[in-house]
Amino acid sequence: MATPKKVFVSYKYSDVVEGRVDKFNFRDKLIDELDGRGLVHKGEDNESFDLKDYKRDQIISKIHPFVKNSSITVVFITPNAIKSQWIPWEISISLRKRTYDNEQNMTRNGIIGVYLPLDSNNIPVEFGGNYNFYKKLKSCGTITHFTSKFPNMIADNAFNLKNGAHTCGSGCCDSVYDSSTGSYIELVDWDTFIDDIDEYIDRAWKRREKFDNYNCRIKLNEGN
C-alpha cells in the first residue's frame, strides 16, 4: 500500500487473550504482522468495567481516542464476541464520520470481520482449527454465514450492498453477495486474511469511499 494505514483491533478478551500469557494469541500475532500500524483498545480485559454503568458520552470518550487514529478496524469474530459490550461500540464509533489524520474530508473506518479458527470445543487455536461454527459450504458452491451467532453490529453491516443480492448459478439461492464487495464488513477466515493482509486492508480502505452504496447500521440503539 502507498500509505501506512493504521489498524484498530477489536476482539473479545476472554476468547483471544485471556489465559494466553507467554503463549500464541491472535491479537499479538496481528499486531506483529501490522508492523507498527496496529492500535488496540485495552478497555476489555480481566479488569473491565461494566458499560451498563456508563452513559453514552462516557463510553464514546473512552473508545474514541483509539479509533480516531485509525482508518481500518479489524474485528475478530469468535464464539463469545456476541457477549461483548465493547465490540458493538467499537464498530459503531468506527462507522461514524470524523477527520482522520491530515485528511480534510470527514471519513469513516473500513471494517474487516475475521473468523478465528476453532478446536472441537469452539476455542480459538493456532493450528488444526476449522470455521464450521461460523459458516457452511452448500452444494451449489455458495457459503451460508451463521450471522445470528455474531454481534448485531457485524450481522447488520454484512451482506448489505444496495442491490447487491443475486441468484446463485444453480438457482437455489436468491440472496447471494460477492465476497469482496457485497458487505461493508467483509468476512474472511484468519488463515486467508493473515496471508494477504494488505489486500484486505486495501479493500476495506476503498469501501470507505463507497459507504453510501451500503445499507449500514451505525447506531447501537436510537439515540446512540
190-217 confidence digits (pLDDT tens): 999 999 998 999 999 999 999 999 999 9
Asked whether residue 108 is assigned to any structural domain, the reply reads: yes
Span between the terminal Cα atoms of the chain, in Å = 34
Long-range pairs of 169-173 with CB within 8 A, sequence gap ≥ 24? 169/140, 169/141, 170/139, 170/140, 170/141, 172/138, 172/140, 173/138, 173/140, 173/142
Q: Tell me which residues of the chain have a pLDDT lower than 70.
A: 1-4, 36, 38-52, 99-106, 222-224
- Is 147 part of a structural domain of the chain? yes
Task: Annotate 142-180 with b (16+ C-beta within 10 A) or e (fewer).
Answer: beebebebbbebbbbbbbbbeebeeeeeeeebeebbeee
Kindly state whether residue 1 falls inside one of the protein's structural domains.
Answer: no
pLDDT at residue 105, as a whole number: 61
Structural domain contains residue 38: yes
pLDDT of residue 58: 82
- Nearest by Cα to 79 from 131, 34, 7, 6: 131
Q: How high is the pLDDT of residue 76?
A: 96
Q: For residue 2, is it within any domain?
A: no
Split into its structural domains, the chain has a count of: 1
Cβ–Cβ under 8 Å, residues 113 and 75: yes
Domain contains 136: yes
Residue 2 is predicted with a pLDDT of 44
In a domain, 222, yes or no: no
Domain that holds residue 135: 7-213
The sign of the CA dihedral 120, 121, 122, 123 is negative
Q: What's the pTM? A: 0.88
Domain membership of residue 224 (yes or no) is no
Please give the backbone phi and psi of residue 195, each rounded to the nearest 5 degrees, phi first.
-80, -20
Residue-level pLDDT at 104: 55
Check residue 85 and give its pLDDT.
85
